[in-house]
Amino acid sequence: MTPTRKRRLIVISLVLAAVAVAAGLTVLALQQNMTYLYSPTEVEAGHAPEHARFRLGGVVLEHSIQRASDSLKVDFVVTDRFKQMPVEYTGILPDLFREGQSIVATGAIHDGRFVATEVLAKHDETYMPKEVADAIAKAKEAHVDHGE
């Protein structure tokens, strides 16, 4: 093998190795930044990651909203109509947030409650986000499968 050919092979090998490392780091970063949506039934079943950020989807349980009088803290319960998850949020809620409405909250579980950093509400009377509808359908299937 000539020196030029050997040098070219080394350069090509280094470029391929750099591309492989870059692709691996990109995939790793994307996986760490993904936030999956879970229903309260899936959270209770242990499918949601502990102490990691994820999205909780469901419906705000009727008569569960409690607002603090001295701050922007709001406590409420999200349900998929089978299981319930208490949620704590500090901040300004969307105008469409109310009891009986579908929401998607982003946050993590701390001390048995979901502490949300962001709350999104559905935007009309007939719309339910596909992810929330799918999560509720999964919870319904799990409820029927377990005979509860």
108, 92 Cβ separation under 8 angstroms: no
Domain range holding 13? 1-34
Total domains in the chain come to 2
Q: Are residues 125 and 56 in the same domain?
A: yes
**Is residue 59 a contact partner of residue 139, using CB atoms and an 8 Å limit?**
no
Alpha-carbon span 73 to 111, nearest angstrom: 17
44 with 14, same domain: the answer is no
Q: Which residue has the higher pLDDT, 73 or 123?
A: 73
Pairing relation of β-strands 37-38 and 66-67? unpaired
Which pair of tokens denotes residue 24?
């691996």
Query: Is there a single domain that holds both residue 114 and residue 125?
Result: yes
Same domain, 23 and 50: no
Query: pLDDT by residue (tens digit) across 9-35?
Result: 999 999 999 999 999 888 887 766 666
Residues 55 and 107 in one domain: yes
pLDDT, tens digit, for every residue of 100-138?
Answer: 888 999 999 998 899 999 999 876 555 566 777 777 777
Query: Contact at 8 Å (CB) between 78 and 37?
Result: no
Q: Identify the pLDDT of residue 124.
A: 56
- Domain co-membership, 12 together with 64: no
Per-residue pLDDT at 146 = 57
CA distance 105 to 45: 18
Q: What is the pTM of this model?
A: 0.66
Residues 39-51 pLDDT 10s: 999 888 888 887 7
- pLDDT at site 29: 78
Same domain, 75 and 91: yes
pLDDT at 140 over 90: no
